[in-house]
């Protein structure tokens, strides 16, 4: 049986000059070595091979299509645009992998990837045919992208974890619930911004309509006379909450004056903490 060494650390008592302390003691012990996971090694090899194929395809397609397009434009721009041909189906494969547990959306990415691959292979074929005047070279060059996509598709199959129909439905329902909550975050933020703008507009209009310029002749009123302060009018029975809001809308901000008004028009036994709470909520 194969073994391997591992380091184990434990606390042991150690005494110096009659004083004992717990210190760390390290020792190497041998434990049975696990068997080699050949499946994982093969899976890793397939993934690395797929990455190599895709990289080679990207380089080949970019070179071929870039050389084709450089006949009509600047080389730097031509080769930059050529990257889009293989990069498009590579991106579709990445999206397909991310959506592997959502078959309906993954199918859209799969179909888009096939169309992008066909366009890329057609462009490479055109380059080989026009430059070498033979369809064989164009066809062989176009197959490179097809082989790369096939290799990556096989790697995706190796890593795939298919779900049974019932589990797939469960995942879809859970994803829909979470996606709905995520979608509501920007919606709530937008509604809050809109509500803030509406409230700011209302406050601005309320300030413009402030009755501070009602009667310029204030010579007959005393600044110390409490009756000189404007009082909101009470129309019918009111709750404590309605009375607090009416007082605040009328410009009364001091808690004592709000409390006095509430006791006058709503409830003579209204508690100060209740009125204060309604003031905070209204603010």
Q: Is the pLDDT of residue 262 over 50?
A: yes
What is 92-129 written as a DSSP string?
A: HHHHHHHTTT-HHHHHHHHHHHHHHHHHHHHHHHHHHH
| Confidence check: pLDDT of 219 > 60 | no
The residue behind tokens 């404007």 is 230
Per DSSP, what are the bridge partners of residue 25? 10
The model's pTM is 0.57
Nearest to 106 by CA among 16, 22, 192, 175: 175
Confidence of residue 269 (pLDDT cuts 50, 70, 90): confident
Distance of CA 116 to the CA centre of its chain: 28
> pLDDT tier at 199 (50, 70, 90 boundaries)?
confident
Q: Are 129 and 135 in contact (CB under 8 A)?
A: yes
pLDDT tens by residue, 24-33? 988 888 888 7
Tell me what pLDDT residue 122 has.
92
pLDDT of residue 2: 80
- Give percent above pLDDT 70 in the chain: 88
C-alpha closest to that of 86 among 48, 108, 57, 106 = 57
Residue 133 has pLDDT above 80, yes or no: no
Least confident of 137-141, 172-176, 235-239, 252-256: 235-239
**Predicted confidence band at 114 (pLDDT cuts at 50, 70, 90)?**
very high
Angle between helix 103-132 and 75-98 (nearest 10): 150
| Structural domain boundaries in the chain | 3-32, 46-162, 169-202, 233-282
Q: Looking at the predicted structure, is the pLDDT value of residue 237 above 70? A: no
14 strand-pairing partners: 21
* pLDDT number for residue 18: 87
């Amino acid at each position: 049986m194969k073994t391997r060494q591992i380091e184990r650390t434990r606390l042991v008592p150690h005494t110096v000059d009659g004083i004992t302390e717990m210190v760390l003691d390290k020792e190497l012990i041998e434990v049975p070595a696990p068997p080699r996971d050949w499946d994982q090694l093969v899976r890793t090899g397939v993934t690395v091979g797929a990455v190599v194929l895709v990289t080679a395809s990207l380089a080949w397609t970019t070179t071929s299509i870039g050389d084709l397009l450089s006949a009509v434009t600047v080389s730097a721009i031509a080769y930059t645009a050529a990257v889009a041909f293989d990069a498009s189906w590579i991106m579709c494969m990445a999206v397909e992998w991310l959506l592997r547990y959502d078959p309906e959306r993954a199918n859209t990415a799969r179909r888009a990837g096939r169309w992008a691959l066909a366009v890329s292979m057609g462009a490479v074929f055109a380059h080989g045919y026009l430059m070498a005047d033979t369809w064989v070279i164009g066809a062989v060059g176009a197959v490179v992208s097809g082989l790369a996509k096939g290799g990556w598709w096989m790697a995706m199959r190796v890593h795939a974890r298919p779900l049974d129909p019932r589990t797939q439905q469960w995942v879809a329902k859970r994803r829909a619930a979470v996606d709905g909550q995520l979608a509501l975050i920007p919606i709530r933020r937008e509604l809050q911004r809109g509500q803030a703008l509406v409230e700011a507009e209302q406050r601005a209009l309320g300030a413009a309509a402030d009755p501070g310029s009602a009667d310029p002749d204030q010579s007959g009123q005393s600044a110390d006379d409490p009756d000189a302060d404007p009082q909101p009018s009470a129309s019918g029975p009111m709750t404590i909450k309605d009375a607090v809001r009416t007082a605040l809308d009328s410009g009364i901000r001091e808690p004592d004056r709000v409390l006095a008004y509430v006791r006058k028009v709503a409830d003579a036994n209204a508690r100060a903490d209740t009125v204060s709470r309604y003031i905070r909520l209204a603010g």
